[in-house]
Amino acid sequence: MKKFKTKKISIKIAALIGIVQIAAMALLFITSNLSIFACVVITVLMILTSTAIIGWQRNAVKGLRTIFENEHLLFSEILEAQTVGTLVTNSEDNEIILINKMAVHLYGLDSAKKNSLTMDDIKNKFSKEEREKITKVRELAKNSKEEIIYETYAIHDDGRKIHFLSHAKSAHLSNGETIIIFSFIDITPLKNLESSLVHLSETDSLTSISNRRGGEQKLRNLVSDGKQGMFCLFDANKFKYINDTFGHAAGDKVLIEIANCMKKAFRTSDILIRLGGDEFVAFTPDIKEQKTGKIVLDRFIKQIEEISIPELGNHKVSVSLGAVIINGTETFEQIYTKADSVMYDCKEKGGNVYKFYE
């Protein structure tokens, strides 16, 4: 914010009055019948009057300067005390006009360089996608009278992602300049809570893999997008017998151990789902041949064979598994039906058996 320049204003006023006085004295001397002495006396009185006026004007200007400086100081203190980040830029060249310390903090910038920051320093804190989003918001705000509300995030040097709820609005100054005012608050704790709640709602509480709600929807989306891979459907053999004979606590341990075997045998990028009861699904993207799929399934069956649960005594846990190589043209229901049919073929054989749908 520019300071009020008292000295320059006073000089301009004095110069203007002086010119007017000289012109008036010359005109008076030429057009009147007064003597030179009378003209000089009148001129001196005019000068004294003008001097008094200039003095009053200078005092008034000093008073205005004090008011402006106090308002500037008050505005600056209020701005810096805000818990809301504020950034003001020129609408034409996007230069920083004003930025408060909360904005510097939220962007993850060095507070010592606050007065020398450029828009490039701020842009570097955002991903390419977020920079494009902010550019679009800026253009919308520039050409609209409405406030634009949007969410974005900055990435700090330590890798932390800081989420913002942001507002952008244009303002037109009396000098014809248009500015864009950005204000934003940190909503990272809220976003983290939101992510945690989503994760909890999509995770099976017993096995810690995806539940039907979360996993099946992801899988349906991949299938509808034509994603290829290996779809596996399986369940625990004689699971009802285990629950009835050894108790539901032992049955829960069986489910937990099967899920642990899935985590060890499949990749972290694969989709692992407990559909419900003792029914599970595993989807391995980009496995397009049975030869490759067999390597994964042999590894999984080996893990199942190593399960040891004391409560089951000599009873060994086993699964029956049906596998389908997805070509990217079938629906989820068609794939599930195929896997289900070969899974029940395996059940007739007993033990840890898998089979591909031909």
Q: Which two tokens stand for residue 193?
A: 């809570």
Q: What are the residues facing 210 on neighbouring strands?
A: 203, 273
Residue showing tokens 């520019």: 2
Running DSSP on this structure, what letter comes out for residue 316? P
- Start-to-end Cα distance in the chain: 76
Residue showing tokens 């992602």: 161
Q: Which two tokens stand for residue 122?
A: 């701020």
Taking a C-beta distance cutoff of 8 angstroms, is the pair 340, 230 a contact?
no
Q: Identify the pLDDT of residue 2.
A: 41
Read off the amino acid at residue 315.
H
Taking a C-beta distance cutoff of 8 angstroms, is the pair 172, 180 a contact?
no
Q: ∠ at Cα 197 (194, 203), nearest 5°? A: 140
> Could you tell me what percentage of the chain is helix, strand and coil, using 3-state DSSP and rounding each to the nearest 5?
55, 20, 25
Task: Please list the ranges in the chain whose pLDDT falls under 70.
Answer: 1-48, 50, 54, 72, 75
Residue showing tokens 């990435």: 155
Number of Cβ within a 10 Å radius of residue 352: 20
DSSP conformation letters of 47-90: HHHHHHHHHHHHHHHHHHHHHHHHHHHHHHHHHHH-SSEEEEEE
Running DSSP on this structure, what letter comes out for residue 223? H
**Spatial distance between the Cα atoms of 96 and 115, rounded to a whole number of angstroms:** 10
Q: What's the pTM value of the predicted model, to 2 decimals? A: 0.64
Strand (E) or helix (H) holding 295: helix 290-305
Q: ∠ at Cα 203 (198, 208), nearest 5°? A: 140
**Spatial distance between the Cα atoms of 108 and 114, rounded to a whole number of angstroms:** 11
Q: Identify the pLDDT of residue 29.
A: 59
Taking a C-beta distance cutoff of 8 angstroms, is the pair 42, 28 a contact?
yes
Q: Which two tokens stand for residue 9?
A: 């204003």
Q: Which two tokens stand for residue 228?
A: 């290829």
Q: Identify the pLDDT of residue 1.
A: 38
pLDDT in tens, 156-189: 999 999 999 999 999 988 888 899 999 999 999 9
Look at residues 168, 99, 159 and name the one whose alpha carbon lies nearest to residue 140.
Answer: 168
Q: What is the CA radius of gyration of the chain?
A: 39
